[in-house]
């Protein structure tokens, strides 16, 4: 999930919160999301909301959230329902204009950091007909107040639908939310009605506009563009079909007589609400041995011929089916393999899907060209030549995007024709970066306002601020060293034929670079990474022990399991959901054993049943005999052992 693997071996599994059923009519959804049966008790001390929303009402909501009050579930559902109804009539691309007496404010990623949004409002003023805003996606995840940000933005959207514009970001996606915190946040705040709230937000995300254009000259999208970006196509797509952009579209089959055959599931994983029962999903192994009619689409081919495939091969195969291993702009169309006598509409759907993926996931690069974005796993890297071509073709002069943290809160590239704006300050940690927003008048020249939400970080000197960033980077580097611990030991031992446990600093740097291949000045970094040396020699055995940045409370008999598990962190989350056959969010110890056996086969590593059982019991923190996804992932969260001793 960290690297966006669309159509991976998760086989379209998500949390039990989001079950796939037939797409319900809007009237059925309205009944399902109905708030009227929810009573507001006399003991409720939070804000009260009246509809239709007013500026005064939203202002009071902002104040309530500022003082950490929680909105009642009845009002949450009512506000979300009104937002859903409004978004459904908005176009894919919002067109806005400036005038002589007002400026447009453009904000980037907020990521649940309410203090940043409040600071923007304090410095710039609340949204109104005289002060229009564009919020460029990634409102949620990572921060602890994602829901409050959504409710504030939706409230102002309802009051000023022509002056508040919300673009969809790559984090406005319920599958991403499962990994990065928003789903957990909502469940934590609304235990009783959390499921209904999440389902409604899921639908809202799919209806968010994809882009905004100012005066037909400035394009605002969350991620970026590619060499195939076509605003005419984007303006026509059925955006709400793509409930999760992480999933390629399913093929829609046409019989030879012109009628449509039924697809295996609702398009793009539309979550079911009313009238749906649980749909049991089989594990990878069970599916491989089941004899049934083949079900084939762009991202769901039969598994019977692949029972001996490794997990990595399966991941690669599904990424290939999604089109991410080919030259950019050339998605495979033949892999859908429609039934005999049928015609598939998948080509059109794939083209639409790719357009949306590019808008939400892409990043600029300094070199010319357009190549797959291997870091994120989706979208592309596009160069200045692509910027010139796409902007020229649409008669645009500037592209504003977000999606990347910048130390100053903003950054120009591509001859100042691409501008990144990022509004979440202190994103990695206190002092790591400033947030910024743009004010743009009729001359369409961007003016930047920078800030940092914490008083502490505003007092940091430049040297201190850089120090915060360096410490964050060093922690990430130590994690990489830990992941490659076994390989490092082998490399060090080549320079230690007498097995004394000591090698020269030069050999330490050379071996470390050979293993990690990061091109870093290891001798310069040595004081930050190696606590002590003696006469220019490094005690690499002691250093390796110091790298054991494991969770202190986790005691297992085979420490190599921990290293291997973390190395395959993203694959493990995928396997967890496959083995969770009833999609309940829990796996038993036996299921865990099967999971490890599958992974050890993929890694060609022999692990004893005793070691697996030891590990399973160690990460069952609440000792209830089963492991949930949070226990599973938390067990392998790396923490610096020096910080806990």
Contacts of 23 (CB under 8 A, 6+ apart): 266, 267, 270
Which residue is listed with tokens 């041995």? 289
Is it true that the peptide bond before 82 is cis, omega within 30 degrees of 0? no
In terms of residues, how long is the chain?
A: 645
The CA distances from residue 624 to 620, 627, 633, in Å, are 7, 8, 17
Residue 394 bears catalytic tag: no
Indicate the SS3 state at residue 213.
strand
Is the alpha carbon torsion for 460, 464, 469, 471 positive or negative? negative
Is the alpha carbon torsion for 392, 394, 398, 402 positive or negative? negative
Phi-psi region of 141 (alpha: psi -120 to 50; beta: other; left: phi over 0): left
Catalytic residue among 72, 171, 174, 240: 171
**Ordered alpha helix ranges (H), 322-409:** 346-361, 384-393
Contacts of 488 (CB under 8 A, 6+ apart): 481, 511, 512, 515, 540, 544
What tokens appear for 509 in the block? 């740097």
Indicate the SS3 state at residue 567.
helix
The dihedrals phi and psi of 574, each to the nearest 5 degrees, come to -60, -45
Phi-psi region of 138 (alpha: psi -120 to 50; beta: other; left: phi over 0): left
Closest CA to 374 of 408, 324, 302: 324
Residues assigned a catalytic role = 171
């Amino acid at each position: 999930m960290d690297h966006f693997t669309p159509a991976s071996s998760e086989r379209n599994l998500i949390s039990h919160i989001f079950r796939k059923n037939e797409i319900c009519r809007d009237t059925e959804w309205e009944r399902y999301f109905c708030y009227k049966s929810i009573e507001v008790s006399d003991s409720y001390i939070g804000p009260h909301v009246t509809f239709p929303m007013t500026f005064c009402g939203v202002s009071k909501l902002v104040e309530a959230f500022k003082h950490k009050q929680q909105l009642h579930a009845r009002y949450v559902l009512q506000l979300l329902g009104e937002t859903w109804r409004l978004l459904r009539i908005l176009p894919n691309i919002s067109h806005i204009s400036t005038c002589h007496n007002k400026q447009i404010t453009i904000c980037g990623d907020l990521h649940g950091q309410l203090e940043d949004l409040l600071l923007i409002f304090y410095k710039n003023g609340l949204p109104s007909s005289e002060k229009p805003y564009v919020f460029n996606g990634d409102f949620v995840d990572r921060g602890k107040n994602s829901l409050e940000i959504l409710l504030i933005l939706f409230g102002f959207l309802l009051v000023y639908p022509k002056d508040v514009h919300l673009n969809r970001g790559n984090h406005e996606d319920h599958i991403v939310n499962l990994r990065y915190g928003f789903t957990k946040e909502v469940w934590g705040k609304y235990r009783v009605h959390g499921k209904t709230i999440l389902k409604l937000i899921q639908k809202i995300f799919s209806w968010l506009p994809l882009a905004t254009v100012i005066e037909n000259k400035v394009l605002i999208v969350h991620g970026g563009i590619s060499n195939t970006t076509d605003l005419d196509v984007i303006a026509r797509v059925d955006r709400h079909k793509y409930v999760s952009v992480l999933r390629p579209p399913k093929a829609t089959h046409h019989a030879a007589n012109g009628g449509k055959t039924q697809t295996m599931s609702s398009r793009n994983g539309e979550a079911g609400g009313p009238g749906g029962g649980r749909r049991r999903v089989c594990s990878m192994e069970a599916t491989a041995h089941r004899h049934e009619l083949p079900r084939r689409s762009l991202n769901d081919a039969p598994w019977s011929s692949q029972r001996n495939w490794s997990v990595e091969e399966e991941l690669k195969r599904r990424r290939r089916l999604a089109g991410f291993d080919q030259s950019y702009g050339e998605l495979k169309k033949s892999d859908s393999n429609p039934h005999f006598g049928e015609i598939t509409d998948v080509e059109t759907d794939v083209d639409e899907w790719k357009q949306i993926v590019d808008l939400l996931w892409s990043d600029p690069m300094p070199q010319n060209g357009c190549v797959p974005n291997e870091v994120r796993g989706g979208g592309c890297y596009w160069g200045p030549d692509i910027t010139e071509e796409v902007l020229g073709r649409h008669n645009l002069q500037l592209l504003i995007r977000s999606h990347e943290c910048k130390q100053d809160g903003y950054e120009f590239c591509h001859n100042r024709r691409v501008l990144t704006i990022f509004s979440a300050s202190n994103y990695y940690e206190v002092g790591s970066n400033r947030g910024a927003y743009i004010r743009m008048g009729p001359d369409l020249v961007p003016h930047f306002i920078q800030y940092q939400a914490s008083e502490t970080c505003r007092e940091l000197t430049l040297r201190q601020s850089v120090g915060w960033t360096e410490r964050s980077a060093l922690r990430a580097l130590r994690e990489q060293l830990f992941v490659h611990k076994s390989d490092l030991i082998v490399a060090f031992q080549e320079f230690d034929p007498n097995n004394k446990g000591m090698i020269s600093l030069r050999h330490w740097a050379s071996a470390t670079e050979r293993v990690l291949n990061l091109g870093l000045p290891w001798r310069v970094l040595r004081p930050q990474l190696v606590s002590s040396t003696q006469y220019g020699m490094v005690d690499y055995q002691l250093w390796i022990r110091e790298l054991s940045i494991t969770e202190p409370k986790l005691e297992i008999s085979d420490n190599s399991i921990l290293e291997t598990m973390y190395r395959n962190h993203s694959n493990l989350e995928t396997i967890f959901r496959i083995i969770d056959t009833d999609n309940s969010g829990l796996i038993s110890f036996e299921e865990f054993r099967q999971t490890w056996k599958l992974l050890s086969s993929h890694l060609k590593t022999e692990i004893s049943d005793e070691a697996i059982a030891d590990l399973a019991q160690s990460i069952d923190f609440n000792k209830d005999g089963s492991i949930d996804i949070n226990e599973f992932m938390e067990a392998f969260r790396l923490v610096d052992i020096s910080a806990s001793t």
